[in-house]
Structure 1
Amino acid sequence: MLSMVGLVLAAGLAGWVDAIVGGGGLIQLPALFGAYPQAAPATLMGTNKGAAIWGTGWAASQYARRVTLRWAALGPAVAAAFVGAAGGAWLVTRLPARPLRVALPLVLLALLLYTLARKDLGQHHAPRFAGRAEAAWASVLGGLIGLYDGAFGPGTGSFFVFAGVRWLGYDFLHASAHAKLLNAATNLAALAWFGTRGHIWWAVALPMAVANVAGSWLGTRTALRHGTGFVRGVFVAVVGALIFKTGWDAAGVLGWR
């Protein structure tokens, strides 16, 4: 019972963080591993997706109602992200995860330093592309990050946000809004893969999903009220936490701790 209460609280906080800038898995997945240390990792990852997709979907619907989205580019990108995530889920059974685990904190650190160095990054919404060019680039980014999410996962929401800001020219608020729909697509692909293989504990996932949606509702309202400067600040904090977490994991892989 106490474990379930802790998981519900963690899911609520994860939904708040994820709705603003992504990275809710940084909170929710470790909570599951802590509550069920003997469970199969695939089952805990599937349960995490089973809880998280509802909050991500809720946030996506709320942003779609309140932020002007670039649907001509977003539609193909969502499809590419779904296919990429499905391919990544298949690929993870064929390739070792060790190189990704070692490289990830370095990639995140480079992303964080670039964001901090560019004070104006993501402050203004000035899309770099239009029409087919925007759809093509958004699809390439959606497919590549979707592939990463299916194969590995940590920081996917943050990668979507950064790609929208740095490459597509969106501000942080619009990038986060677009990232929610892309992340919902990758979560759906992963959910289908885990679900068909019996790797979801729905009795655990559904109470967490309710809390995740509640946190997502609050997070969406917070982001919309405070705007792009607030989203940028949360982005920096979440990426910093991801660097610490993935760096700690990489140290274990390399035998440094």
Structure 2
Amino acid sequence: MELAHFSIELLAFLFFIAIVAGFLDTLAGGGGLLTVPALMMSGIPPVAALATNKLQASTGTATASYMMLKNKKVSWDEIKPLMLFAFIGAAVGTTMIQFVDTRVLSFVIPLVMLFIGIYFLMAPALDKQSKQAKVSAKNYQRLVVPSIGCYDGFFGPGTGSFFALAGVSLNGRGFIDATAIAKTLNFSTNMASLLVFLVAGQVIWALGFIMILGQVIGARLGSHCLFTIKVKYLRYLVVTMCFAMLVKYGFTF
């Protein structure tokens, strides 16, 4: 579709949503909980919304990942195998979504937002310090990471939060370190999904490029704030974001 098919108001709305999503996604994950419903509320078909979201989200996670590597907040040797398994899982999930009735997504989106919001609201305080891992490094790499990657390919919103939560609860990471690693894994899953969606011809390029600009701005801002903001504020951001979008989604549909 050409830009002329969309109103200035809609383009401005999606640009602003992308900035906020890029910022929040870098800090706490879950930016897709803003962008996917925003695209669907704009009248975009569900699978096209997921595909276009992957285009713009890939830029945001690429920016955040670059900042993490540049500032030596993550180790390339450590994350490389994790990114590979995340990529494989996402490719499988994205292939699966091509064969699913898209009406199912209208029920899945609010359920996922509700689940993530309640989890962050009720979960024990997240610690900055590392703890003992609950699963082996091998099982985490070969089972946990590709499973979350498959979810990202199949649906997506909240993946960054899931990677961060898994890093804390299963891999024994401190919350900030887990969040930094989650950026790189989310970039890998986004790229895998985007490649599959491109082959399927589902991406709406005009909207994707507008949102890419917003994602770059938001991700750069978030990357600079990640290691200075208090952990409890990240938690409040996720909870507020989830329930606000759940209310908005309910009124729209």
TM-score bin (small chain): 0.7 to 0.9
For 2:225 and 2:57, the matched residues in 1 are separated by: 19
Q: 1:181 corresponds to which residue?
A: 184
Q: 2:3 corresponds to which residue?
A: none
Q: 2:4 corresponds to which residue?
A: none
Q: For 2:74, what is the secondary structure of its paired residue?
A: coil
Q: For 1:125, what is the secondary structure of its paired residue?
A: coil
1:204 aligns with 2:207: yes
For 1:10 and 1:107, the matched residues in 2 are separated by: 22
Q: For 1:162, what is the secondary structure of its paired residue?
A: helix
Q: TM-score, normalised by structure 1?
A: 0.81
Q: 1:150 corresponds to which residue?
A: 153
Map 1:45-64 → 2, pairs under 5 A: 45-64=50-69
1:78 aligns with 2:83: yes
Q: 2:127 corresponds to which residue?
A: 122
The total of aligned residue pairs comes to: 242
For 2:120 and 2:151, the matched residues in 1 are separated by: 19
Aligned AA (1:123): K
Q: 1:15 corresponds to which residue?
A: 22
Cα distance, 1:244 vs structure 2: 6.0
Aligned AA (1:11): A
**Percent sequence identity over matched residues?**
31
Cα distance, 1:47 vs structure 2: 1.3
Aligned AA (1:42): V
For 1:160 and 1:219, the matched residues in 2 are separated by: 17
Q: Is the 8 A contact 2:94 2:197 kept in 1?
A: no
1:112 aligns with 2:112: no
Q: Which runs of 5+ in 2 are unaligned?
A: 1-7
| Cα 1:64/1:74, change in 2 over 3 Å | same
For 1:113 and 1:11, the matched residues in 2 are separated by: 24
Cα distance, 1:201 vs structure 2: 1.9
Q: Is the 8 A contact 1:86 1:147 kept in 2?
A: yes
Q: TM-score, normalised by structure 2?
A: 0.82
Aligned AA (2:212): A
Q: Which runs of 5+ in 1 are unaligned?
A: 253-257
| Cα 1:135/1:172, change in 2 over 3 Å | same
**1:33-56 alpha-carbon deviations (Å, 9 max, x no partner):** 233x1x332222211111111011
Aligned CA-pair RMSD: 2.9
For 1:233 and 1:80, the matched residues in 2 are separated by: 30
Q: 2:169 corresponds to which residue?
A: 166
Q: Is the 8 A contact 2:94 2:153 kept in 1?
A: yes
Cα distance, 1:65 vs structure 2: 2.7
Q: Is the 8 A contact 2:33 2:113 kept in 1?
A: no
Q: For 1:13, what is the secondary structure of its paired residue?
A: helix
Cα distance, 1:103 vs structure 2: 6.1
Q: 2:234 corresponds to which residue?
A: 231
For 2:23 and 2:66, the matched residues in 1 are separated by: 15
Which deviates more, 133-142 or 154-163?
133-142
| Cα 1:81/1:244, change in 2 over 3 Å | farther
1:33 aligns with 2:40: yes
Q: 1:255 corresponds to which residue?
A: none
Q: Is the 8 A contact 1:80 1:143 kept in 2?
A: yes
Aligned AA (2:174): D
